[in-house]
Amino acid sequence: MSTQESTMRRLASTALGGTSIEWYDFFLYGTAAALVFPALFFPEDMPRYVALIASFSTFAVGFLARPIGGIVFGHFGDRVGRKAALVVALSIMGVATTLIGLLPTYAEIGAIAPLALIFCRFAQGLAIGGQWGGAMLLVTENAPADKRGFYGAFAQAGAPMGVILANLAFLVMSASVSDEAFMSWGWRIPFIVSIVLIGLALYVQYRLEDTAAFKALEDAKEGQSDAPKQSSPVLQALRRFPKQIALGAGAFLAVQVSFYIFIVFVVSFGTDPNGLAMSRSDMLLAVLVSSAAQIPALFYFASLSDRRGRIGVYKLGAVLMGLWAFAVFPIMNTGSLLYITVALCFAQVFIGMMYGPQAALLTELFSAEVRYSGASLGYQIGAILGGALAPMVATALLATFGNPLWISVYIAVACALTWLSVHALRNANTHTMQPDV
């Protein structure tokens, strides 16, 4: 094995491990928002769907913070280094998630409980807004040009891995203790164990080097010590690449809308006692298995994008997801755990067609000196427009119309906007699409 291959394997495994635990923390909140928080952090006399929307609203706070995290860590990552930004982001996430597991409930401290929950969720959003750019660039900026999509998928695979770990944690706790114990203290354990993320941050700090692209930028700056100081990388990215940032956000829209509906909303949809009335464990298992199906799809379609191009693979994923949206809920309405799991598996595979090539796609849109800022802005703006609202919008649509068909329409519209955005990227200053790392 060559030195480069050995280095890439170490970087890829670190990116996968870091993003898996980081997304575990972020998605753990989503599962708890569907199953636990409505009962524990809001007044008992709230109607169920109102408490659920309120809980999903606190879930959305993390998305509101993500663009801020992208801006702050983008500036930090472009100026100080990819590794340093990633270390700080991992540490913040570890502390914030652990604190959620220690929070008192509404019954104990009243309205301060949801406020404290919101504060911790905001910190999670800041951290996830910064970690994605660091982990993604750690692998894509060091990868060979013909394998940038494949290695970028290691950072992307952390998302479905995080879903699996989060749901597995809740499944284990649900099976280990009674429902009363789970609602009393069992749900806290998966949050508290997130303190291990701080240990991973220390590993990244002391065992990994920064990317070759950032080192080259630093060497170039040393050779131009008399050059005038440039403006913030974030401002440079906004000024030089506004179209790429906007289209990058649009490209992410379908991924976020469909992903969060199929990992967060479906849990409450399936366990609603007035609806499918599935058990909590069955719905968590269905989401877990479908998330596992996304992982090989991510790597396959990311590798395919290395050979066939990012645009075509991404657009096909948007089309298939938009069509499949109209099949998922009729299949779920059968009440069969097998059929529900299969339907969600297909949905996650189609999401993987888009999410797999995305790291490389965004990397290649921006020049190295503003890449952390530009890629993070596009990614996190798409996240807030898509993922932040998806569970709330889906819940509101179902409450208003009583029919999940309109949720399918919502997903299809998001997929259409993504298709148009990715199609437009073909002409978005195509010279910047050429890798320059």
Q: What is the CATH number for 187?
A: 1.20.1250.20
d(CA 347, CA 263) in angstroms, rounded, equals 10
Structure tokens at 296: 């090989």
Cβ 131 vs Cβ 16: under 8 Å? no
d(CA 340, CA 83) in angstroms, rounded, equals 41
pLDDT value of position 221: 58
Structure tokens at 343: 């339907």
Q: Does any domain span residue 213? A: no
Q: Does any domain span residue 1? A: no
* Overall number of domains in the chain: 1
Structure tokens at 122: 């905001």
Q: What is the pTM of this model?
A: 0.81
Domain that holds residue 164: 7-208+231-433
Q: What φ, ψ does residue 308 adopt, rounded to 5°?
A: -110, -5
Classified as helix, coil or strand, 361 is helix
pLDDT tens, residue by residue, 316-353: 999 999 999 999 999 999 999 999 999 999 999 999 99
For the chain, residues with pLDDT lower than 70 are 1-4, 45, 82, 200-231, 427-437
Which residue, 192, 68, 214, 41, is CA-closest to 129?
68
pLDDT value of position 216: 66
pLDDT value of position 277: 84
Number of H helices, E strands in the chain: 21, 0
Q: Does any domain span residue 215? A: no
Q: Does any domain span residue 221? A: no
pLDDT value of position 1: 56
Residue 146 has a CB neighbour count (10 Å cut-off) of 10
Q: Does any domain span residue 94? A: yes
Q: What is the C-alpha end-to-end distance of the chain, expressed in Å?
A: 23
DSSP 64: H
Q: Does any domain span residue 224? A: no
SS3 content of the chain, % helix, strand, coil (to 5): 85, 0, 15
Q: Does any domain span residue 218? A: no
Which residue bears the tokens 């309120």? 54
d(CA 138, CA 432) in angstroms, rounded, equals 20
Cβ 31 vs Cβ 264: under 8 Å? yes
Q: Does any domain span residue 238? A: yes
